[in-house]
Amino acid sequence: MRRDIFIATGNVAKLRKSLSALSDTERGRPGIGVIQGEAGRGKTMAAKEWHTVNGGIFLRVLEGWSQFGFLQELAFEATGDRPGNTAKCRTSIMSALNESHTAIIVDEADRLHMGRIEDLRDVHDMTGCPVILIGEEGFYPKLHARRRVHSRVVDVVNFDPISAEDVMLFAMQAAALEVTPEACHKLALLAKGSFRVVYGYILHLEDYAKAQNTNTIDAKAVEALRIGRA
């Protein structure tokens, strides 16, 4: 199966529209975006694809980051250097990003202590750079606790479960499999909306198709592999 395939799903289209709009935000106006959804629905992959095409900063959060650790990594992504203390990190970040409108995409932002999100708000306020926070479902409501952050959120993108149409397109482009509409619907349901799980299913079905000397997958083939069962 090809591993370089990227499918422009409906979720991807929503993310692209949101991030493009946020990148045009003028200095001094609210410009924080939230992307949320259950794990496995392709949030990170879609954000990385946008970042590859459009540039900016992409930062993946590590569990338990201190303020210094977080700001040091953000400074490194912005400048290539890791300053030795918090104050120097702030100065370096602000200087590098001032009026640049560089998009700052923070993956797994729901791992961050709220104080670190306040740090990102400061960066946005001082530089005009849009900040995009990616987290699991229910992340946005948690921001209500900090009005200074919540009031700056101008867009929320909810990643929906993968559709049968997405499954069909992915199977064809990644594995050259012709999956019937009924089988696609069954796979989407079995995966519970997770693109990541569908990926694994298609790997199994590709092996099945080779063994059967066919490229067509129907609902019986899905059942034959007992996909999704314990």
Per-residue confidence at 150, pLDDT binned at 50, 70, 90? confident
SS3 55: coil
Q: Mean pLDDT throughout 188-210?
A: 93
Question: What pLDDT score was predicted for residue 230?
Answer: 42
Note the pTM of the prediction, 2 decimals. 0.89
The amino acid at 115: G
Q: What share of the chain in percent tops pLDDT 90?
A: 77
Distance CA 73, CA 62 (A): 10
Question: What is d(CA 19, CA 193) in angstroms, rounded to the nearest whole number?
Answer: 23
| Residue range 12-33: mean pLDDT, rounded | 81
Query: What DSSP letter does each residue of 198-230 carry, written as one string?
Result: HHHHHHHHHHHHHHHT-SEE-HHHHHHTTTT--
- Has residue 27 got a pLDDT over 70? no
pLDDT greater than 90 at residue 149 = no
* pLDDT above 90 for 47: yes
Amino acid at the residue 77: E
For residue 7, the model assigns a pLDDT of 87
- Can you give the residue ranges of every domain in the chain? 10-158, 164-224
- Tell me which architecture the domain covering 10-158 has in CATH: 3-Layer(aba) Sandwich (3.40)
Could you tell me which CATH number the domain at 164-224 has?
1.10.8
Quick: pLDDT tens for 81-127: 999 999 999 999 999 998 688 999 999 999 999 999 999 999 999 99
Distance CA 152, CA 68 (A): 24
CA gap 207, 200 in Å, rounded: 11
Tell me, yes or no, if the two domains 10-158 and 164-224 fold the same way: no
- Give the pLDDT score at 229: 55
Q: Choose among 104, 73, 101: nearest CA to 89.
A: 73
How much of the chain exceeds pLDDT 70, in percent?
A: 95
Alpha helix stretches (DSSP H) within the chain: 10-23, 43-54, 67-79, 86-97, 114-127, 139-142, 147-150, 164-175, 181-190, 195-212, 219-224
The chain-wide mean pLDDT, for the chain, equals 91
Residue 31 confidence (pLDDT): 86
The closest of 53, 50, 58 to 109, measured between CA atoms, is: 58
Query: Which residue is associated with the tokens 């796979």?
Result: 187
pLDDT at position 100 is 80
Average pLDDT over every residue of 17-32? 76
pLDDT tens digits, 180-194: 999 999 999 999 989
Among left, alpha and beta (phi > 0; psi -120 to 50; other), residue 69 is alpha
